[in-house]
Structure 1
Amino acid sequence: MTSSLIHKATYEADNSFVSSLREAFQLLEPQLRPPFPLTIRAEPEYFNLNHAILYGILCETHLAKVHIKHLHGIMIDGYGFFTTLLCRLVDELYSKLVENVKVQLVYVTSEMIDASAIGIDNLLVALLRQIRGGDFSEANLWLCSEMVNLFRGKWECLLEEHPLVLSSALYVFLRVLSDHCKVSLNSKLKILKQKEIEFCIRVFREQFHLCLKIGRDVTRLLQDLVHVPEFRDIWKDLLLLPASFKTPGFSDISQLYQSRTCSRYFLLRITPEMESHLRFLLTQVKLGSQTRYQIWFGRKFLNVPEKETVVIDIVRFTCRAHHPSKDIIHSNVIPRWAVIGWLLKCCTKNHIEANVKLALFYDWLFFKEDIDNIMDIEPAVLLMVNSIPKYIHMTHNLLEFLFLVVDHYDIDRKDLILKGVSSALDALQRKGVVGSFDVLTSCDMLLPFLKEKLVKMLSYKNVSRFNNLQHVLLP
């Protein structure tokens, strides 16, 4: 017996991976029924049997437990090859899988956690990447619910064997909660929100060291949830009672601010399909020819107002997880700043636009040259500079936002933020990203008050250097 794994239009060719699973099942089906022979399989046969068993688990739901027992019996590589097959299925085909196959996929993932399978952390990350931001479809909310249930139910096991995957889950659920907490669709969403909140709060309260693994972006996501009472309490404790987290070495939120977030976290909020299209846009499409690609991308991934929140994730990914090569930088391929400028124009809601700007400037606020990468902050400055004179309103909006954030993001640590932004400006000029900031300070079209603030910001670094030098020289 065989059935379909994926939804396929009549005009579509067969998927080669699906075909390999189905063909292995058809070839070895007699061997998939008990009693099973107690023999050690050679590699080619072993790999083929893995294909067949996977197909059986996904399609023969009434025999799934039998297939799992068979898998346990033949396993010789710690389930490494089997989880590789599962990861490929999720990365390449998840959106096309039929509904009952998705259910079986979550089931077999749970079984692999119990079996301490090699690569289970990669499989969990692959599934987390399929949770789409701003997507309130039943299928997407179902996946959110299944994944949060999985992490809650397997907490102890994952904490012992794969603690870092819990930090990945925290990043994802903090991010989707900012969407889920802004709407009230039905009782199911209310239950889901509560589960997501409880999971995140447990990580903060019981395993705060895993929050530290994420770095500064955990504060960016957390601040978007301060309207939720449970997260408001976390934020207050971060600012006023850091000792309440009982984590050795953690004494102030500034330590989180100054910890650069690893790029793998930004990949968590971009599906593999979206990533491939973004990387194509940023490596193959020529400047001036991008409009039709942007229209296509917008229709596919930003086609309803709720999905605008994904722009925040795309900008963070573009700044932090996609650093073009020198060859690309010096070619006529559309630069990152131009793509971000287009994405900003896609925003129709003020709060989303503000969060997109924060995503663009976030590394500026805490920039330290020995920790951060100049490529993280390059898109924002080039967008401001290259918007003159045709799109001067873009330059105005970005500079005004930057100065507003410097003054109000964390008033008690304003000096830290001021130092970060001035260090960013200094590094951008020294490393030749911009030849001179005269292009801004001498621009007649730039509003006088913005010029004045920028000049003060640029001079802050020189004043700091002078003060540091005096401190060294004076007895």
Structure 2
Amino acid sequence: MAAKLVERRSHEAENPIEISLREAFIFLEPNLRPPFPLSIPTQEEYENLNRAILYGILCEPHLAQVHIKHLHGKSTDGYEYFTGLLIKIVNAMFPKLVDPVRIQLLWVTQEMVHVAAVGVDGLLASLLRQIVGGDFGEENLWLCFEMVCLFSSKWVCLLEDEPFILTSALYVFLRLLADHYRVLNVPKIEALRQMETDFCLKILRQEFHLCLKIGRDLVRLLQDLVYVPEFRDIWKDLLCNPSAFKVDGFVDISQIYSIRTPSKYFLLRITPEMESQLRFLLTNVKLGGHKRHQIWFVKKFLAVPERKTVVTDILRFICCAHHPCNDTIRSDIIPRWAVIGWLLKCGLKSYVEANVKLALFYDWLFFDEKIDNIMNLEPAILLMVHFLPTYIDVTNSLLEFLFMLLDNYDVERKEMILRGISTALDVIVRKGVIQSLDVLTSCDRLSPFLKQRLGKVLSDSQVQH
């Protein structure tokens, strides 16, 4: 009887991927032991053989070396089909995989890195996405450890064959470190975060030209680690000694501010299941019928207080990686600003709330109409406008936070930030996101000080344009 890949409750249907792998294994099992057939398979036979070998690797650890040698001898597509199968398993089944299968999955992933398999960067990205922020459970910490070990041990071949996947790992581990450094006196986590720190410092110091591909969100993540001595030194060099990074043409941190972070990085910090639920909420659920979906989402993903740090990642995903079409915007589907307003009211700790607000406004600070997308700005302005009648405290707090960023985020580059915010406000009105900012400046319930500051920024914007 073939072994199982996942833990499945009695009422749950089998995953079709598991069924296809197991059936291929059972059908071809006599051919999976040496001596292997020398015949050249058809495309259908080749795909079936790949499925059978993968099932054997995952479920027969004692024969894994035999199966991998068989795969090496039969692969004719640079392992592309085989790697694609692995990605499907990770995306669709990883949380439910039994422990021995998870171990084998990480083992065969290392083998795919070693042979520079086609698509291995996508496989590594899929595994990185399975690491859950704010989760200090055994299984999640194990995956963190395995992945940082993989990236560290395979540094040379990844740098040669798939250098940009190293920037994905950097993004993930910087984000995880912000969580891990808040847990004290737990030896397992202390050892893990030292490995994560060593990896991040290595790529920041040795391959900074790659790190620049992340764009401005690299600075946002580093800022959250400024209290860690090793990263404080990185921060000092960014601000005062950029030549320390040995990148031709890199002379000021403002150059990073000016690079929009590609949306693929925001996907790295939410699991495929979370992405699926968020996209369903934002494309299918009508405003007014959304509360039960939100309650389920909180129970599923945010019930543990430590897990609420992931709200920052959700905000960046909603603002920068989920841009609804015009038909959805004009419909009665729950809008992005309403979901963000709900998340802000989820009982966040003060430091998490500050990070969430920064995530909401981050693209405002450096907005450049030539490279940035107005859809990144839309949720914040619509949230402030729509919350005026009933939640004026939220609008006041958001505007206050925006002006605090203007005054304090980077004092040396305040002019750049003022230009970014001014441009953002100008584009918001010019492109019709809202008809006029008078809705804010003429609101009697809005703080007089904030209205004065907003008026000053608007006058500066008119001078600039």
Partner of 1:253: 253
1:114 to 2:114 alignment: yes
How far does the alpha carbon of each residue in 1:28-52 deviate from its partner, in whole angstroms, 9 at most, with x for none? Answer: 1000011112222111111001010
Partner of 2:191: 191
TM-score normalised per structure 2? 0.99
Partner of 2:53: 53
Q: What is the 5 A alignment of 1:56-455?
A: 56-184=56-184, 186-455=186-455
How far does the alpha carbon of each residue in 1:222-252 deviate from its partner, in whole angstroms, 9 at most, with x for none? Answer: 0000011010000000000001100011110
In structure 1, give the amino acid aligned to 2:275: E
Partner of 1:470: none
In structure 1, distance between residues paired with 2:93 and 2:303? 21
Unaligned 5+ segments in structure 2 are none
Partner of 2:19: 19
In structure 1, distance between residues paired with 2:454 and 2:419? 14
In structure 2, give the amino acid aligned to 1:299: K
Moved more, 12-21 or 263-272: 12-21
In structure 1, distance between residues paired with 2:63 and 2:464? 70
In structure 1, distance between residues paired with 2:98 and 2:390? 49
Superposition deviation, residue 463 in structure 1: 2.0
How far does the alpha carbon of each residue in 1:134-191 deviate from its partner, in whole angstroms, 9 at most, with x for none? Answer: 1101100000000000000000100011000000000000000000001125211111
Q: Any idea what SS the aligned residue of 1:420 has?
A: helix
In structure 1, distance between residues paired with 2:60 and 2:348? 46
In structure 2, give the amino acid aligned to 1:417: I
In structure 2, distance between residues paired with 1:125 and 1:277? 19
Partner of 1:6: 6
How far does the alpha carbon of each residue in 1:98-147 deviate from its partner, in whole angstroms, 9 at most, with x for none? Answer: 01100000000000111111110110000000011011011000000000
Q: Any idea what SS the aligned residue of 2:9 has?
A: coil
In structure 2, distance between residues paired with 1:41 and 1:195? 44
Superposition deviation, residue 414 in structure 1: 0.6
In structure 2, distance between residues paired with 1:284 and 1:381? 23
Q: CA RMSD in A?
A: 0.7
How far does the alpha carbon of each residue in 1:335-384 deviate from its partner, in whole angstroms, 9 at most, with x for none? Answer: 00000000011133000000000000000000000010000010000000
In structure 2, distance between residues paired with 1:40 and 1:202? 45
In structure 1, distance between residues paired with 2:347 and 2:238? 31
In structure 1, give the amino acid aligned to 2:291: T
In structure 2, give the amino acid aligned to 1:22: R
In structure 1, distance between residues paired with 2:63 and 2:296? 42
In structure 1, distance between residues paired with 2:249 and 2:40? 51
How far does the alpha carbon of each residue in 1:77-114 deviate from its partner, in whole angstroms, 9 at most, with x for none? Answer: 11000000000000000001001100000000000111
In structure 2, distance between residues paired with 1:399 and 1:148? 39
In structure 1, give the amino acid aligned to 2:131: I
**Alignment length, in residue pairs?**
465
In structure 2, give the amino acid aligned to 1:178: A
In structure 1, give the amino acid aligned to 2:39: T
In structure 2, give the amino acid aligned to 1:107: W
Q: Any idea what SS the aligned residue of 1:346 has?
A: coil
Q: Any idea what SS the aligned residue of 2:443 has?
A: coil
Q: Any idea what SS the aligned residue of 1:459 has?
A: helix
Runs of 4+ in 1 over 2 A off after TM superposition: none
In structure 2, distance between residues paired with 1:210 and 1:337? 33
TM-score normalised per structure 1? 0.97
In structure 2, give the amino acid aligned to 1:435: Q
Q: Percent identity?
A: 63
Superposition deviation, residue 16 in structure 1: 1.2
Unaligned 5+ segments in structure 1 are 466-475
In structure 1, distance between residues paired with 2:341 and 2:348? 14
In structure 2, give the amino acid aligned to 1:306: E
In structure 2, distance between residues paired with 1:101 and 1:460? 60
Q: Any idea what SS the aligned residue of 1:184 has?
A: coil
Q: Any idea what SS the aligned residue of 1:369 has?
A: coil
Superposition deviation, residue 15 in structure 1: 1.5
In structure 2, distance between residues paired with 1:347 and 1:268? 24
How far does the alpha carbon of each residue in 1:384-435 deviate from its partner, in whole angstroms, 9 at most, with x for none? Answer: 0000111100100100000001100000001100110010000001001010
In structure 2, distance between residues paired with 1:225 and 1:14? 43
Q: Any idea what SS the aligned residue of 1:95 has?
A: helix
Q: Any idea what SS the aligned residue of 1:402 has?
A: helix
In structure 1, distance between residues paired with 2:55 and 2:184? 38
In structure 1, distance between residues paired with 2:319 and 2:440? 22
Q: Any idea what SS the aligned residue of 2:84 has?
A: helix
